[in-house]
Amino acid sequence: MPREHRKVPGKQGSGIRKSGKVFGQGQKTVKMVRAGLYARVSTQDQQTLPMQNCAMREYAARRGWTIAMQVKEVGSGATQRKLREELLESARRREIDVVVVWRLDRWGRSVTDLLTTLQELEHLGVGFVSLTEALDLTTPAGRAMAALLAVFAEFEREILSERVRAGLAHARQNGKRLGRPLTAGLHASQIRKLHRAGHSKSEISRCLNIGRTSVRRILDRRSQA
């Protein structure tokens, strides 16, 4: 799977720059916002990658942000976003101040995954911007939208839980045994009885539907007693 990860040289540092004197006033400290850009496409849709990058770079320029890190990832939606994790690691090291993506589904694998990463970024004090949805978590309106995402994430978890419960109920109706298998200890007397009758350990294992190692352990314990 092709992947690309590039840090923009010469952009790292304290994130602070000083402005010159204005009308005789002293120097003023201005915080330099360092942006991490994340673009992602599927293996069949790589032609949109330049468009994503162009849109994000133009947005960062309009905001006056410095591009400190740029990540381009290619792969199917089911795979782990390994380069996204590297971008998150940079945020944890306080090397970037804001993450910019072209669209939310480029960043999150699910609503729950999206919310989890956004909450972590908020905890780290790192902003998040998605251009297509006009989501900017550096603003009060953007944070309100993130609260709505939390509602949808909870809804998604409830749907998954309901599906699991329905699957278990269907299995029970079809006579499938659920949960952990019975331990060999519950069959100890039967194991010894079958062994005394001349059955091999493999036969006992198949007959009682338990592991051969468990049968051997029961019989060895008996011989040591």
Per-residue pLDDT tens over the stretch 13-70: 445 555 444 444 455 555 789 999 999 887 777 778 899 999 999 999 999 999 999 9
8-22, 71-85, 155-169, range with greatest mean pLDDT: 71-85
Domain ranges of the chain: 3-140, 184-224
Per-residue pLDDT tens over the stretch 83-103: 899 999 999 999 999 999 998
CA angle 215, 209, 182 (to 5 degrees): 80
Task: Extract the tokens encoding 138.
Answer: 């550096």
Contact 96, 129 (CB under 8 A): no
- pTM: predicted TM-score of the whole model, two decimal places: 0.55
205 a catalytic residue: no
Spatial separation of the C-alpha atoms in residues 182 and 93, rounded to whole Å: 49
Taking the alpha carbons of 4, 9, 15, 21 in that order, is the dihedral positive or negative? negative
Taking the alpha carbons of 96, 51, 79, 145 in that order, is the dihedral positive or negative? positive
CATH code, 3-140? 3.40.50.1390
Q: Which of 14, 19, 42, 161 is catalytic?
A: 42
